Chain A
Amino acid sequence: MSPGGRFGNSPTGLALAISAGVTMIIALYMMFLYAPQDSVQGPVQRVFYLHLPMAWIAYLAFFIVFVASIAYLIKRNRRWDQVARSSAEVGLVFTTLVIITGSLWGRPIWGTFWEWDARLTTTLILWFIYLGYFMIRAYVSDQERAMRYAAVVGIIGFIDVPIIHMSVRWWRTLHPEPIVTQSGGPAMPDSMLYTMGVALLAFTLFFVYLMYQKMLLEQTKDELSDYNLAEADRQADAAEGVTA
């Protein structure tokens, strides 16, 4: 298959790109023009339509890492590792975006970029765990071992998320403090809910598209490294033949 056929031009890729793109444009229109202004927070509240879908994608991505890691350790099929590492990369990017959009939202509303509450702390620690996930991949020379180690981190990391969340919440509740993080607020009007719905759909489609492209890329990378290894072997054999 030609590289062009594998990437941008394949019918599936094109269909995903178009559907994600069109939905994203509709979502952007709705979040900036259709959704009503928040009476308390003003225009800043609109970051919510980006922030929540990003958080959803981040956690969805890490859930996929978790499932694919278990599957890899059981089946030992490289496809599962490709799924896990593609999803982890997208997840890490979205976790970073969640933290950034959250801080930008927090500054005008809470008066601070950061608050050590359970949700924020858990997301930050999750970010560090998946940073470790990529570091262990990078620092292990043997490919098969790197996949196994990464799978172990992917599994433990995901199981750890609710545990971290719980421990941080308990830790905070024993520390009385002004309740700035309570999101409660009045129920959203329908137009806001619709906007959120479309935004969630747009981001999910975008995630599927990214996963699709990333998987192809990882597959190609693996094939290329297989080829390089085989080539190195062949050359070593040839050199041996000459000396012998």
Chain B
Amino acid sequence: MRNLDKILAIVWKDLLTEVRSRELVVGMLVFAMLTIVTFNFAFDLTGVERAPSGAGALWVAFIFASLLGLGRAVALERDKGSFDGLLLAPVDRGMIYLGKLLGNVIFIVAVQLVTIPVFGALYDLPVYQPMLFVVLFLGTLGIAGLGTLFSVMAASTRAREVMLPVLLFPVALPVVISTVRATTLILTDRTDALMQWVNLLAAFDVIFLTIAFLVFDRVVED
């Protein structure tokens, strides 16, 4: 098997499990929607200044939904002992990381694709822009890249629900800053400074994914 096949096999396993059990995406989706609705009561989202708060609300919703999904995904694997099986498979640990990462990205993007139109309609913001989807994908890649690593670590602690956000939030801050900023610029149609943020975001993704890929092996070695 080539490496790509191995990664895809892991992704396929996760997708199949999800299609059959529907334990992750539905929960994440409902959570994301509720967060966006709740933010309406926290900020004034009807005025002219609604784009920055909206971008913030959108990303808070996505990050919390991601945390929920990442934690749940590992918990499911651990509970049924399938993660141990995965580690026993004759596959490089780095490939396991990439497979789990890709699966997580697909789940989060699925949630985003449903949430975005609802968000656009509720807050009356121009969401159908190609660049927004680029930013969503890059942001998700950064969050999931660190999140996949930290969720595996958090899962073997006594306080898994607490440990994941405690580890992820501070470290992922650069990704959060640049995605929220880029999303705000897109929603307010100020595209002059946009590429600067998108490039920065892409650079963060490369750095974080490289580190996570390198150390994942050390995290799952038992």
Chain A residues, Cβ within 8 Å of B177: 167-168, 170-171
State A136–B190 Cα separation when bound (angstroms).
Answer: 42
Chain A residues, Cβ within 8 Å of B170: 125-126, 128-129, 132, 160
Chain A residues, Cβ within 8 Å of B153: 136, 149, 152
Say yes or no: B171 contacts A156, CB within 8 Å.
yes
A contact residues, total (Cβ < 8 Å): 32
| B107-132 interface bits toward A, Cβ cutoff 8 Å, 1 = contact, 0 = none | 00000000000000000000000000
CB distance from B83 to the nearest CB of A (A): 15
CB of B134 closer than 8 Å to a CB of A: no
Q: Interface of chain A, helix or strand or loop or mixed? A: helix
State A164–B208 Cα separation when bound (angstroms).
Answer: 12
Known A136-B153, A139-B157; contact A152-B219, beta-carbon cutoff 8 A: yes
Which residue in B154, B207, B212 is a CB contact (below 8 Å) of A163?
B207
| A141-163 interface bits toward B, Cβ cutoff 8 Å, 1 = contact, 0 = none | 11001001101110111011001
Say yes or no: B157 contacts A152, CB within 8 Å.
no
CB of B27 closer than 8 Å to a CB of A: no
Chain B residues, Cβ within 8 Å of A135: 159, 162-163, 166
Which residue in A129, A153, A160, A167 is a CB contact (below 8 Å) of B200?
A167
Closest to A137 in B: B157
Known A73-B218, A132-B166, A170-B200; contact A139-B207, beta-carbon cutoff 8 A: no
Say yes or no: B157 contacts A174, CB within 8 Å.
no
State A71–B181 Cα separation when bound (angstroms).
Answer: 37
Chain B residues, Cβ within 8 Å of A139: 157-159, 162-163
- Best-surrounded residue of B173, B196, B207 (most CB of chain A within 10 A): B173
Say yes or no: B215 contacts A152, CB within 8 Å.
yes
CB of A180 closer than 8 Å to a CB of B: no
State A163–B154 Cα separation when bound (angstroms).
Answer: 23
CB distance from A62 to the nearest CB of B (A): 13
Chain A residues, Cβ within 8 Å of B207: 159, 163
Which residue in B196, B197, B218 is a CB contact (below 8 Å) of A148?
B218
Q: Interface of chain B, helix or strand or loop or mixed? A: helix
Say yes or no: A136 contacts B167, CB within 8 Å.
yes
CB of A140 closer than 8 Å to a CB of B: yes
B residues 166-189 near A (Cβ < 8 Å) are: 166-167, 169-171, 173-174, 177-178, 181
Which residue in B149, B157, B171 is a CB contact (below 8 Å) of A136?
B157
CB distance from B80 to the nearest CB of A (A): 21
Say yes or no: B215 contacts A156, CB within 8 Å.
yes
Closest to A121 in B: B173
Chain A residues, Cβ within 8 Å of B171: 129, 156-157, 160
Chain A residues, Cβ within 8 Å of B212: 156
Known A135-B163, A148-B218, A163-B204; contact A174-B211, beta-carbon cutoff 8 A: no
Say yes or no: B174 contacts A164, CB within 8 Å.
yes
State A140–B207 Cα separation when bound (angstroms).
Answer: 27
State A156–B159 Cα separation when bound (angstroms).
Answer: 21
| A168-197 interface bits toward B, Cβ cutoff 8 Å, 1 = contact, 0 = none | 101100100000000000000000000000
Say yes or no: B156 contacts A145, CB within 8 Å.
yes
Chain B residues, Cβ within 8 Å of A160: 170-171, 174
CB of B222 closer than 8 Å to a CB of A: yes
Which residue in A142, A149, A163, A174 is a CB contact (below 8 Å) of B174?
A163
A-B contact pairs, 26 of them (CB 8 A): A125-B170, A128-B166, A132-B163, A132-B170, A135-B162, A135-B163, A136-B167, A139-B162, A139-B163, A145-B156, A149-B157, A156-B146, A156-B171, A156-B212, A157-B171, A160-B170, A160-B171, A163-B207, A167-B173, A167-B174, A167-B178, A168-B173, A168-B177, A170-B177, A170-B197, A174-B193
A residues within 8 Å of B by Cβ? Answer: 73, 125-126, 128-129, 131-132, 135-136, 139-142, 145, 148-149, 151-153, 155-157, 159-160, 163-164, 166-168, 170-171, 174
